[in-house]
C-alpha cells in the first residue's frame, strides 16, 4: 500500500472548512485509493523538522491542510531540508489564497478528491531575504491585518475579520518612500501599498488577476501615494483589480519580474503569507518550478 503524510493545523477553519471535522473522512478516502494516510498536527512551538521526520521516497506525497501560513511553514522547512516530495493542499484557513491560485476547491473533502485525482505540476515559489513565500510578500496599508487579527475572530466570522482589521488599519495610513530595482525596470516614489505576488489574491481579493503560479515571474503591485488622495484613487484601483481593464490606472504600478529589491528610508513592518516578514530592505526572486504541487 502507498503511504502519504497529512500535516494539518487544527486551529484553522470552522464548521465545513474545519479539517478536524473532515479528518476521518479524508483518511477513509485515501484508504479507498490504496493509500495509507498518517496524520500529524502542527505545533508551531515545536521544531518544524519533526513534522517531516522519516519522509523519504517511500511516501507518495505530503498533504498540507491549513491556510497560507500553514502551507508556508511546511514548504519553508521542506526547502531548508531539500525535501523534494510532491505536496497536495487542502484549504482550511481563513483566506487560502495560494490554494485558490492553484485551483483547489474550498470544501476539504472536494479538495482531497482533487489531490487524489490530479498529477504533480512544477510550481513557483518566491524568496525574500532567504525566506520563502508561496503567495505574497507585502507592506503598507492593510497588508499586516492578518497578523493582528485574532484566530478566534477569523474562525468566527471568516474573511469579514479582515474587513474589521482593515478599517482599523486605514486610520494609520501614511505614504512610504520606496525605491524599487528590478530586472523589468526601476521606480522610486511614495507608496501606500506594496505587494509582490507569486499567487493571484490577497485576502481573496483578486489583486494580481493575471498572475500565474508557474510562469517564472513575480507580479508587483504598488498603489502610489501623492498623485491623488487615497479615497479618490480607490474606485479606479478597485475597478482595475476586479477585472475592469487591462491597463492599470495612473495611481497603480503593475509589472512582472523575476528579481526585485525594495528599500525605504522608513522602518515598515512586512508580511509574508500572513506572517511577520523580514525588515526592509529586501531582495526577492522567483524560484521557478521549485515545488511539485498536485493540482488541476
DSSP string computed for the chain = -EEEEEEE-TTS--GGG-HHHHHHHHHHHHHHTTEEEEEEE--TTS-THHHHTT--TTEEEEEEEE-HHHHHHHHHHHHHHT----EEEEE-SSS-HHHHHTT--SSHHHHHHHHHHS-EEEEEEEEETTEEESSEEEEETTTTHHHHS-HHHHHHHTTHHHHHHHHHHHTT---EEEEEEETTEEEEEEEEEEEEESSS-BTTB-TTTT--TTSS-EEEEEEESSSS-HHHHHHHHHHHHTTS-SSPPTTEEEEEESEEEEEESS---EEETTEE-PPSSEEEEEEEEEEEEE--
Domains, the chain, in order of start with CATH, read: 2-118 (3.40.50.10330), 132-288 (2.60.200.40)
pTM, 2 dp: 0.86
Would you tell me how many other CB atoms lie within 10 Å of the CB of residue 48? 17
105-123 pLDDT per residue, tens: 999 999 999 999 999 999 9
- Residue percentage of the chain with pLDDT more than 70: 79
Does pLDDT of 182 surpass 70? yes
Which pLDDT does position 95 carry in this prediction?
Answer: 75
The stretch 231-241 carries a mean pLDDT of 60
194-216 pLDDT per residue, tens: 999 999 998 777 888 889 999 99
Amino acid at each position: 500500500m502507498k503511504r502519504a503524510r497529512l500535516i494539518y493545523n487544527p486551529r484553522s477553519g470552522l464548521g465545513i472548512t474545519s479539517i478536524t471535522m473532515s479528518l476521518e473522512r479524508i483518511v477513509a478516502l485515501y484508504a479507498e485509493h490504496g493509500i495509507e494516510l498518517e496524520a500529524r498536527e502542527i505545533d508551531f512551538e515545536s521544531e518544524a523538522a519533526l513534522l517531516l521526520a522519516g519522509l523519504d521516497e517511500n511516501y507518495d506525497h505530503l498533504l498540507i491542510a491549513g491556510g497560507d501560513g500553514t502551507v508556508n511553514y511546511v514548504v519553508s522547512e521542506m526547502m531548508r531540508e531539500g525535501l523534494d516530495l510532491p505536496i497536495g493542499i487542502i484549504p482550511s484557513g481563513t483566506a487560502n489564497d495560494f490554494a485558490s491560485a492553484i485551483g483547489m476547491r474550498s470544501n476539504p473533502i472536494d479538495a482531497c478528491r482533487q489531490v487524489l485525482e490530479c498529477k504533480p505540476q512544477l510550481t513557483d515559489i518566491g524568496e525574500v531575504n532567504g525566506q520563502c513565500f508561496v503567495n505574497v510578500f507585502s507592506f503598507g496599508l492593510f497588508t499586516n491585518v492578518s497578523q493582528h487579527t485574532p484566530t478566534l475572530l477569523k474562525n468566527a466570522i471568516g474573511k469579514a475579520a479582515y474587513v474589521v482589521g482593515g478599517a482599523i488599519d486605514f486610520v494609520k495610513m501614511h505614504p512610504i518612500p520606496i525605491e524599487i530595482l528590478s530586472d523589468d525596470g526601476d521606480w522610486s516614489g511614495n507608496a501606500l501599498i506594496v505587494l509582490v505576488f507569486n499567487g493571484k489574491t490577497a485576502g481573496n481579493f483578486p489583486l494580481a488577476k493575471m498572475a500565474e503560479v508557474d510562469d517564472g515571474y513575480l507580479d508587483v503591485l504598488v498603489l502610489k501615494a501623492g498623485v491623488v488622495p487615497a479615497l479618490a484613487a480607490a474606485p479606479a484601483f478597485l475597478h482595475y483589480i476586479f477585472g475592469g481593464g487591462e491597463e492599470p490606472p495612473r495611481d497603480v504600478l503593475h509589472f512582472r519580474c523575476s528579481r526585485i529589491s525594495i528599500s525605504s528610508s522608513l522602518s515598515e513592518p512586512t508580511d509574508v503569507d500572513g506572517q511577520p516578514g523580514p525588515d526592509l530592505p529586501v531582495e526577492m526572486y522567483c524560484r521557478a518550478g521549485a515545488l511539485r504541487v498536485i493540482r488541476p
